[in-house]
Amino acid sequence: MPANPGMGQEVVLVGLDSPRHAELHAMLVARIADIRNPQSTMPIIALVDAAAEVETELWSHLERMKEDAIIVLQRAVKQVETGTYGNCRVRRHDHDNQPCNRRISMRRLRKFPLTGKCGTCERKELRHRPQIRRR
Ligand SMILES: [Zn+2]
């Protein structure tokens, strides 16, 4: 069956020994060799596809993060309404494990609206954190 170029016939059955078959076979084999070649540009094309996939994944991850942030912020709004927002929730070992309960400064809450830790507890924690050795 003869190929009919220019007639919009993209799929044409050809004999296994036809020049068309030989050319396609050679092209595909060369492509495989190209992908396997560490100097090849093919992995870059593959990377572009992978990057598109990563981007999609990243966007859906960001969407989930946004939803999580909304949930946490809505919880904070409820805490404001019930008057429990803005107090330190850090358990103090020197106070029978009771929450510190100090009021967190407005300055700190403006910067970190979801913090449950007052500046005093934050500084205490930083002091007890293992230090990184510097040369
Ligand atoms: Zn505190």
Distance CA 117, CA 123 (A): 10
Q: Which residues span the domain enclosing 60?
A: 17-85
Same domain, 61 and 103: no
pLDDT digits (tens, 9 = 90+) for 7-59: 444 554 445 667 766 776 677 777 677 666 777 666 666 767 777 877 888 88
pLDDT digits (tens, 9 = 90+) for 113-133: 889 999 999 999 899 887 766
This prediction has a pTM of 0.48
What is the average pLDDT across 91-118? Answer: 90
Structure confidence at residue 35 (pLDDT): 66
What is the average pLDDT across 100-122? Answer: 92
Same domain, 55 and 71: yes
Residue 103 confidence class, pLDDT cut points 50, 70, 90 = very high
The alpha carbon of 103 and the centre of ligand 1 are apart by a number of angstroms equal to 8
In a domain, residue 70? The reply is: yes
The alpha carbon of 92 and the centre of ligand 1 are apart by a number of angstroms equal to 8
The alpha carbon of 85 and the centre of ligand 1 are apart by a number of angstroms equal to 13
Same domain, 71 and 32: yes
Structure confidence at residue 2 (pLDDT): 44
Count of domains observed in the chain:
2
Residue 72 confidence class, pLDDT cut points 50, 70, 90 = confident
Structure confidence at residue 99 (pLDDT): 92
Structure confidence at residue 15 (pLDDT): 55
The alpha carbon of 121 and the centre of ligand 1 are apart by a number of angstroms equal to 4
Same domain, 21 and 81: yes
